[in-house]
Copies of this chain bind each other. A is one copy, B any other.
Amino acid sequence: MPYQTVKGGVCAPAGFLASAVSAGIKNPDAERLDLALIYSEHPCVSSGTFTTNRVKAAPVRVSHAHLRNNEIRAIIANSGNANACTGIKGLEDARTMANCVAKPLKIRRREVGVCSTGVIGLRMPMERITPHGQDLVDKLKPNNGTKVAKAIMTSDTRHKELAITTQINGKEVTIGACVKGAGMICPSMATMLCFVTTDAKVSRNCLELCLLEAVEASFNRITIDGDMSTNDTVLALANGAAGGSRIQRNTKGCRQFRDALEWVLTNLAKDIVRDGERVTKFVTVEVKNARTYLDAKKVAEAVAKSQLVKASWNGNDPNWGRIIHAVGYSRAPIREELIDIYYEDLPACIGGLVADTPLDKLREIAREARFKIVVDLNLGKSDYTIYTSDLSPEYIDFNRSEYAYWNQARKEGMVE
């Protein structure tokens, strides 16, 4: 453990407050936290990364716009409705969400980030949200981080948060974060929400670079089902409460901050995979010695996304034939006769041919809840690692139908 973990999630860094309420966004009769607010007592520098899906949810567009010319210092987030494919009214709704906390906080609307996650295509039930604006602000406390992590859950089975402290430039700084995500998870900004808070006094330049690099090494390296969502967002707020001189880009302090942030986000990314919908395995796919970084990435993604490979993992089957077939269609240059495939340290395939490891030894590894597949291309010097899961019959069953919910939503007038 290279860092000291601490409690508190997004409220662990100094000067961050949070609150969450049960607004009944998906179901007015259910009592569960589904609307949350994060607020920094001090002004922040801020940064964000967003889905690369060309169909972008309204809150993604609004948060992106707010970040472009402003520093945000508050985030309002909800689960139960994605506010995606909702057109101009959806944009108005997202702005109204920001406004309903900006007013009681006495800050500008543009200082508030907005994030939503849930069903696509339904209007936000604004009449259940705006009345809670004042309430959210009144309930702000410095120990409510976990409530935020809970309020953004959808098909997640557990809340996911992490906070660490580390020394940068002689000051103790704290980084806290929470994430949600369990389905529609795919590299290129995995389908998820993540909020990062820190009291480190970093420049905006430094924060932007560190966030991009940390997301590339963490959330962009996980895949559960290969489906990229419309709502993926990571927002990072740094309020400088730790003091000291400002950490500038391209300094040792900036690199230390990047490493710490990457460690936090990588651990949360792995948590997302472990909590993937109906997932039974956590599999690390390590591609070694590709000609280029992009080749290694293509091979790792082809293996990690193959339905047949993932089905075999679900069946505890050390089926290297399916792995090499995915390597072959990855479009990366490979030489079949040079490919080695390992389950942990045991060779299943050497030089493109079956290895002589006893099958029951490989089977023992494939039975584990977490194991590593190594694909050595023996062509160059580039490596890439991806974190993924099996694919279970239960996943398909779980995702067969949202019809009943839609039917109910129509009756309630959420569809116009």
- Please report A residues at the B interface, Cβ cutoff 8 Å: 52-56, 84-87, 119-122, 183-184, 186, 188, 225-230, 306-308, 311-312, 314-322, 324-330, 333-334, 336-337, 339, 349, 351-354, 356, 359, 363, 391-397, 399-403, 406-407, 410, 415-416
Q: Cβ of A406: which chain B residues have Cβ within 8 Å of it?
A: 359
Number of copies of this chain that the complex holds:
2
- Chain A contact residues: helix, strand, loop or mixed: loop
A328 engages B230 (CB within 8 Å):
yes
- Contacts A120-B321, A316-B401 given; does A407 touch B359 at CB 8 Å: yes
For the complex of A and B, 3 pairs with smallest distance between CB atoms: A315-B400, A55-B328, A120-B321
A399 engages B312 (CB within 8 Å):
yes
Write 22 A-B pairs (CB below 8 A) sorted by A numbering. Answer: A54-B329, A54-B333, A55-B325, A55-B329, A55-B339, A120-B322, A120-B324, A121-B353, A122-B354, A183-B308, A225-B308, A226-B307, A227-B307, A227-B325, A307-B396, A314-B396, A316-B403, A318-B403, A354-B415, A359-B403, A363-B403, A395-B396
- Contacts A229-B325, A321-B85 given; does A400 touch B314 at CB 8 Å: yes
B87 engages A352 (CB within 8 Å):
yes
Q: Cβ of A230: which chain B residues have Cβ within 8 Å of it?
A: 325, 328
- Contacts A87-B352, A324-B55, A394-B393 given; does A403 touch B315 at CB 8 Å: yes
A329 engages B228 (CB within 8 Å):
yes
- Contacts A122-B354, A317-B401 given; does A53 touch B329 at CB 8 Å: yes
A396 engages B311 (CB within 8 Å):
yes
Q: Cβ of A183: which chain B residues have Cβ within 8 Å of it?
A: 308
A227 engages B326 (CB within 8 Å):
yes
Shortest distance between the CB of A288 and any CB in chain B (Å): 17
A55 engages B307 (CB within 8 Å):
no
Q: Cβ of A329: which chain B residues have Cβ within 8 Å of it?
A: 52-55, 186, 188, 227-228
B321 engages A121 (CB within 8 Å):
yes
A85 engages B324 (CB within 8 Å):
yes
B87 engages A321 (CB within 8 Å):
no
Shortest distance between the CB of A354 and any CB in chain B (Å): 5
Measured CA separation A382–B306 after assembly (Å): 29
Measured CA separation A393–B401 after assembly (Å): 13
Shortest distance between the CB of A303 and any CB in chain B (Å): 11
B321 engages A119 (CB within 8 Å):
yes
A308 engages B410 (CB within 8 Å):
no
Measured CA separation A394–B410 after assembly (Å): 31
Residue ID in chain B nearest A348 by CB atoms: B121
A396 engages B392 (CB within 8 Å):
yes
Q: Cβ of A394: which chain B residues have Cβ within 8 Å of it?
A: 393
Q: Cβ of A316: which chain B residues have Cβ within 8 Å of it?
A: 401, 403
Residue ID in chain B nearest A119 by CB atoms: B321
B400 engages A312 (CB within 8 Å):
yes
Residue ID in chain B nearest A309 by CB atoms: B227
B402 engages A317 (CB within 8 Å):
yes
